[in-house]
Amino acid sequence: MANWIPFITDLGEGPASVIIDVDLANSGADAGRGTLVVASVPLRSPGEHGMGEQQEVDAIDAVIEEIHGVLASGCDAVFAATMRSEGTYDAVFYLPASKAQAAEMLLGVGLSPLEGDFIIRQDPTWSMYHELFPAEGDMRRALGLRALMLLAEGGDDLSIPRGIAHEINLPGRNAADAAKQKLAEMGYTIVSETSDASEDLPFRLAFQRVEAPEASALLTSGELLDQLAQELDGEYAGWECPPAG
């Protein structure tokens, strides 16, 4: 079963919206599907950041999902990722080399309503997939946002403030003390402080701040806490949002 993670990143040419099946990192490249297929669709309304307007994206998603079904059944393909950037929607598939010719015929038909195009080339190491795979910070943010989405889908009122929990791992006592002072200035309350000499970053601070779990605010807080951790040669471990009540 696919484990799709959405995130926004910068691939060097500006912002990109990526949705990727992270579970394929463990199984995909070993499954004999070394042929890369990228179906590309120009966005008619790319918007300010080149990632498209939601209505158009939804329409393309529906067509790409149909193409996925055809490629999966007819060519033993796996759907690896989508990327929207610079006015283009790209859908990434991998399939066995023996199915490349069949895929070419199916894509020519499937993409015609969208005026799209495609490339097919060998990529036995799944280099494109790994280029799109989220970095540690992107993964942390994506998992946090997905947790918020699941809470909302479960009926949680995300406008209700609650204690948002965070953790930072630090290299020593001095760094931990400096972090505690800065966190207090930022309105956080220290919940616990532990140490484990066997760890590379032995001091762990757990802290929280009561606030409504608004996505953009939590992303900003995460960036600031990540910056604080880096300044102290530590590592920000991320945040967790409990259900309301």
Which CATH topology does 136-240 take? Alpha-Beta Plaits (3.30.70)
Do domains 4-132 and 136-240 share one topology? The answer is yes
Lowest mean pLDDT among 43-57, 66-80, 135-149, 157-171: 135-149
In the predicted model, what is the mean pLDDT of residues 151-174?
94
Cβ atoms < 10 Å from Cβ of 38: 19
Whole-prediction pTM: 0.75
Q: Which pLDDT does position 28 carry in this prediction?
A: 67
Could you read off the pLDDT of 59-106 as tens digits, one per residue?
999 989 988 999 999 999 999 999 999 999 999 999 999 999 999 888
Share of the chain above pLDDT 70, in %: 98
In the predicted model, what is the mean pLDDT of residues 44-48?
88
Edge-to-edge strand list for the sheet holding 88-95: 4-10, 15-21, 78-85, 88-95, 35-42, 117-122
β-pair partners for 118:
39
**Could you tell me the residue ranges of all domains in the chain?**
4-132, 136-240
From the number of C-beta atoms within 10 Å of its C-beta (0-12, 13-18, 19+), residue 3 rates as exposed
Edge-to-edge strand list for the sheet holding 162-170: 189-195, 203-211, 162-170, 235-240
Options 3.80.30.20, 3.40.50.970, 3.30.930.10, 3.30.70.260; CATH of 4-132: 3.30.70.260
- Is pLDDT above 90 for 173? yes
- Is pLDDT above 80 for 147? yes
Phi/psi at 52 (5° precision)? 90, 160
Q: Which pLDDT does position 56 carry in this prediction?
A: 92
Q: Which pLDDT does position 110 carry in this prediction?
A: 67
Could you read off the pLDDT of 225-240 as tens digits, one per residue?
999 999 999 999 989 9
Percent of the chain that is helix, strand, coil (3-state, to 5): 40, 30, 30
In the predicted model, what is the mean pLDDT of residues 104-114?
79
